[in-house]
């Protein structure tokens, strides 16, 4: 990689670090790893080995793990349930639907996109978060028709 390209990548990295509130004076290899605060339930593999946390705080951000709907029902019922579960987690950890910055939506079937949107629309207030929606090849774990995770700002 040429010098100009490396410099551009370093500048981009420094800008992102500054935006996220990390120190930019140390080399990337010398920088301490940012600390995170686990605030949710730690999910294990049934043998006591941690797989993931249901929620993690980092600085003024809250990361909520994917929520699914594991019952019989259509995409509307599953979407409503998933959004209700996200909202409970957000409130429990000091945030709200209006403070969600990013949502990832995983659909079992892309043909459910329009019906999912009917329920999704308006749940995050007048300024909805950015969103990525994909159809998960092979389906969603637990036979959910939809799974969502999110990143939100925390109350000050």
What are the tens digits of pLDDT across the range 89-137? 999 999 999 999 999 999 999 999 999 999 999 999 999 999 999 999 9
Q: Is the pLDDT higher at 55 or at 46? A: 55
Q: What is the pLDDT of residue 5?
A: 47
Query: Environment class of residue 30 by beta-carbon count within 10 Å: exposed (0-12), middle (13-18) or buried (19+)?
Result: exposed
Distance in angstroms (rounded) separating the CA atoms of residues 86 and 119: 14
Residue 148 vs residues 47, 87, 137: alpha-carbon distances, Å: 26, 11, 15
Q: What is the mean pLDDT of residues 144-156?
A: 94
Q: What is the pLDDT of residue 24?
A: 43
pLDDT tier, 38 (very low <50, low <70, confident <90, very high otherwise): confident
**Residue 112 Cα to chain centre, angstroms:** 21
Distance in angstroms (rounded) separating the CA atoms of residues 135 and 138: 9
Residues pairing with 57 in the sheet: 37, 62
The phi, psi pair for 40, rounded to 5°, reads -110, -170
Q: Are 12 and 18 in contact (CB under 8 A)?
A: no
Report strand pairing: 55-58 vs 61-68. antiparallel
Distance in angstroms (rounded) separating the CA atoms of residues 133 and 104: 6
- Per the prediction, the chain carries an average pLDDT of 84
Query: Environment class of residue 123 by beta-carbon count within 10 Å: exposed (0-12), middle (13-18) or buried (19+)?
Result: middle
In CATH, which of 3.30.1330.40, 3.30.9.10, 1.20.120.160, 3.20.20.10 is domain 35-153? Answer: 3.30.1330.40
Name which of 2-11, 45-54, 136-145 the model is least confident about.
2-11
């Amino acid at each position: 990689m040429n010098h100009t390209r490396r410099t551009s990548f370093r500048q981009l990295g420094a800008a992102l670090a500054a935006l996220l509130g990390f120190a930019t004076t140390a080399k990337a290899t010398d920088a301490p790893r940012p600390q995170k605060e686990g605030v949710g339930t730690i999910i294990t593999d049934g043998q006591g080995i941690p797989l993931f946390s249901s929620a993690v705080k980092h600085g003024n951000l809250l990361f909520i793990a994917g929520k699914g709907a594991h019952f019989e029902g259509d995409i509307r019922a599953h979407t409503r349930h998933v959004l209700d579960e996200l909202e409970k987690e957000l409130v429990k950890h000091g945030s709200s639907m209006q403070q969600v910055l990013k949502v990832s939506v995983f659909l079992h079937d892309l043909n459910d996109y329009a019906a999912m949107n009917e329920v999704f629309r308006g749940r995050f207030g007048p300024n909805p978060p950015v969103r990525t929606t994909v159809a998960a090849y092979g389906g969603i774990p637990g036979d959910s028709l939809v799974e969502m995770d999110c990143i939100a700002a925390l109350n000050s």
